[in-house]
């Protein structure tokens, strides 16, 4: 296992733990992994490899913790890898979302709202405001998307 793979594994385990327990992905975990990835690629392949690592970082983007995590995954493994991790993570995120809706017993209500909105969009009829909105009660209706990114990065690793 390459050094960069070990750094990525440690980062993913750390971010999975903090996202599941605290719903946060800390910059304090991301920044050292990013620096190690950039230095590793510059040292092992020179400027072209360093630019390749930066391209992977930029594909992840800069923003919330989960987006920055995806960027650091890209800096470690490159643009093709981060794209595969993104796609697999999106699928995992969808599956986690459906599981959360089932757990909260709100899957049917959510599907009804989606279909109703689709009906209004297709017919062009004015929307009637829904009196019963789903409020985010302390993060109860959210998923830790960092977990989906970790699943996607692991899937990309094993598919590759």
Give the list of residues 6+ apart from residue 23 with CB closer than 8 angstroms, or none. 139, 142, 144
pLDDT for 73: 94
119 phi/psi in degrees, rounded to 5: -60, -45
pLDDT in tens, 7-43: 999 999 999 999 999 989 999 999 999 999 999 999 9
Structural domain range at position 38? 3-159
Q: How confident is the model at residue 130 (pLDDT cuts 50, 70, 90)?
A: low
Q: Give the Cα separation of 151 and 62 in Å (integer).
A: 20
How do residues 34-78 score in pLDDT, each as one tens digit?
Answer: 999 999 999 999 999 988 888 888 766 555 888 899 999 999 999
pLDDT in tens, 99-119: 988 998 988 988 998 898 888
In this predicted structure, the answer to whether residue 138 has a pLDDT above a threshold of 50 is: no
Q: Rg for the chain (alpha carbons), in Å?
A: 19
Coil, strand or helix: which one is 59?
helix
Distance CA 61, CA 23 (A): 20
Helix, strand, coil tally for the chain in percent (to 5) = 80, 0, 20
The Cα 86–Cα 153 span in angstroms is 8
The predicted model scores a pTM of: 0.78
Alpha helix (H) residue ranges in 61-106: 65-77, 79-103
d(CA 76, CA 62): 15
**From CA 160, how far away is CA 152, in angstroms rounded?**
12
* pLDDT recorded at residue 11: 96
pLDDT at 132: 52
| Closest CA relative to residue 133, chosen from 145, 125, 122, 141 | 141
Number of structural domains in the chain: 1
Q: Is the pLDDT of residue 136 over 70?
A: no
In a 13 Å sphere around the CA of 148, the CA atoms on its Cβ side amount to 22
């Amino acid at each position: 296992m390459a050094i960069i793979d070990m750094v990525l594994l440690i980062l993913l385990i750390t971010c999975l733990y903090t996202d599941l327990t605290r719903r946060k992905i800390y910059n304090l975990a991301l920044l050292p992994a990013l620096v190690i990835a950039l230095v590793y690629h510059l040292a092992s392949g020179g400027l072209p490899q360093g630019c390749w690592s930066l391209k992977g970082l930029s594909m992840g983007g800069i923003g919330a913790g989960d987006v920055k995590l995806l960027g650091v995954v890209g800096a470690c493994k490159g643009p093709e890898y981060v794209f595969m991790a993104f796609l697999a993570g999106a699928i995992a995120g969808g599956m986690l979302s459906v599981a959360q809706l089932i757990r909260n017993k709100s899957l049917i209500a959510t599907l009804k709202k989606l279909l109703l909105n689709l009906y209004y969009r297709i017919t062009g009829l004015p929307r009637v405001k829904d009196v019963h909105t789903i409020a985010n009660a302390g993060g109860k209706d959210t998923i830790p998307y960092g977990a989906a990114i970790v699943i996607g990065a692991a899937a990309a690793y094993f598919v590759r």
